[in-house]
């Protein structure tokens, strides 16, 4: 494990997430437990963002069900390396379905941010993009600086998937910006925004 290197990664998670969501249009967004959900809230609370406060390891699987139900909409996952590792076998189930509208971004700071910044396996030799490629993702990448991020951003938002990009972001403690925490409310407002007020 290397617990020093991520402190110097140039990309900052809040700026990455703000860029991902800047022109979101009708994109559907599922964010993973912890810092990824706070990052999305910092970029602006939105009814078509479903921020998970729990269910660790379930973000990718949840987005898969959503992507299959809404094949005409772009579905973007924004999650962390801890959640992605816990639900890593769900990546294999994604490739069986092969949804072209699903794009997964892992904000990889090599830390469990919510529990005290302990290192995850990606602080060692574990490579999330390589794991995704190994279970059958055709499009994967690891993004390490602003130039690489700017180059790949249009593909993350629009190119045919499924795809997974691990974005190496600085390990840093940031101020909490919290989305609503009532899960039933989050679900109902998402469905109302997507399917109409009667869906609720």
Partner 1 sequence: MNDTMPAAPTWPDEIFRILRDFEVAQMAYVPDAGHARLIERAVTANEVRAVPLTTEEEGIALLAGAWLGGERGALLMQSSGVGNCINMLSLAKTCRFPLLMLVTMRGQWGESNPWQVPMGQITEDVLKLAGVLTFPVDSVDDVEETVLAAARMAYEGPAATAVLLSQRLIGAKSFGK
Using alpha carbons, list the distances in angstroms from residue 77 to 45, 132, 184. 15, 14, 20
Write down the least CB distance from residue 168 to partner 1, Å.
Answer: 26
Q: Are strands 28-31 and 75-80 parallel, antiparallel or unpaired?
A: parallel
Of 52 and 85, CB closest to partner 1: 52
Write down the least CB distance from residue 44 to partner 1, Å.
Answer: 19
Of 26 and 173, CB closest to partner 1: 26
Write down the least CB distance from residue 163 to partner 1, Å.
Answer: 18
Rg of the chain taking only CA atoms, in angstroms:
16
Write down the least CB distance from residue 145 to partner 1, Å.
Answer: 32
Of 32 and 141, CB closest to partner 1: 32
Write down the least CB distance from residue 176 to partner 1, Å.
Answer: 20
Of 29 and 171, CB closest to partner 1: 29
Of 63 and 129, CB closest to partner 1: 63
Write down the least CB distance from residue 26 to partner 1, Å.
Answer: 13
Of 62 and 106, CB closest to partner 1: 62
- Chain residues binding partner 1 by CB under 8 A are 28, 30, 50, 52-59, 61-70, 87, 89-90, 92-93, 96-97, 183-184, 186-187, 190-191, 194-195, 199
- Compute the Cα dihedral for 56, 29, 111, 97 and give only its sign: positive
């Amino acid at each position: 494990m290397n617990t020093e290197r991520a402190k110097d990664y140039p990309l900052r998670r809040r700026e990455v997430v703000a860029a991902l969501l800047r022109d979101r249009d009708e994109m559907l967004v599922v964010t993973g437990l912890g810092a990824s959900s706070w990052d999305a809230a910092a970029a602006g609370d939105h009814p078509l963002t479903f921020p998970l406060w729990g269910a660790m390891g379930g973000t990718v699987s949840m987005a898969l069900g959503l992507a299959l139900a809404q094949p005409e909409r772009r579905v973007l996952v924004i999650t962390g390396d801890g959640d992605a590792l816990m639900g890593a076998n769900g990546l294999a189930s994604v490739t069986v379905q092969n949804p072209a509208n699903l794009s997964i971004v892992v904000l990889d700071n090599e830390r469990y941010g919510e529990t005290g910044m302990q290192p995850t396996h990606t602080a060692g030799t574990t490579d999330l993009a390589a794991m995704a490629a190994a279970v059958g993702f055709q499009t994967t990448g690891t993004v390490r600086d602003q130039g690489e991020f700017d180059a790949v951003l249009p593909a993350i938002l629009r190119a045919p998937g499924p795809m997974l990009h691990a974005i190496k972001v600085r390990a840093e403690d940031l101020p909490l910006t919290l989305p609503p925490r009532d899960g039933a409310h989050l679900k109902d407002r998402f469905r109302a925004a997507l399917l109409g007020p009667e869906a609720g």
